[in-house]
Amino acid sequence: MKIIGISGSIIGSKTKITVEKVLTNIKNIQPDIDIELMDLKNYQLEFCDGRALIDYAGDTALVLKKILSADAFIIGTPIFQASIPGTLKNLFDLLPIDAISNKVVGIVSTAGSAKHHLVVEHQLKPILSYMKAMTLPQYVFIEEKYFNAKKEIQDEQILSRLQKLADDVVHMSGRLGRLETNSY
């Protein structure tokens, strides 16, 4: 099984740190799972312009290939100006509509204020639903105040929720994989 963590921004580090924490938890649960972090700041993605998938090259083609080969995802998004970053939206626009269909998605979100806690519900989940992802109903929202000066998550309740998210992604991906291989 391959699980990719996507840090959906080209600036900051808190979202990446959070996605890494979930991936580490997944690896601790099931060491044989292949995990990978895709930090969008490390890729030069082209803007979606309606080209066929095969016509993209470079980092864009590499990222799309990785996503198409994954079984599940941890999608991390910071909240800027009460919205997901354009970088993450562009990634979704580049994907074929069935790219994440029936694949398990866990979500983490970071923001400077609790005022942004519903952005995932109003923006990210509808996109994932349209793409027919198997989005877990509960996600983890973390305010900036829960990171210490070293940018480590310092709240035990949040760490527990990140562990639960990792458990749920592993469990649901495993169940979905077993169901798909059974023919009735």
Give the whole-angstrom CA distance, residue 18 versus residue 147. 10
Please report the pLDDT score of residue 24 as a whole number.
Answer: 98
Name the stretches of the chain with pLDDT < 70: 178-184
Which CATH homologous superfamily contains domain 2-177? Flavodoxin domain (3.40.50.360)
Residue 178 is predicted with a pLDDT of 55
The token pair at 61 is 């083609």
For tokens 């309740």, the residue is 157
Q: What is the pLDDT of residue 180?
A: 53
Q: Is the pTM of this model over 0.85?
A: yes
Q: Is 175 exposed, middle or buried (0-12, 13-18, 19+ CB in 10 A)?
A: exposed
CB 77 within 8 A of CB 124: yes
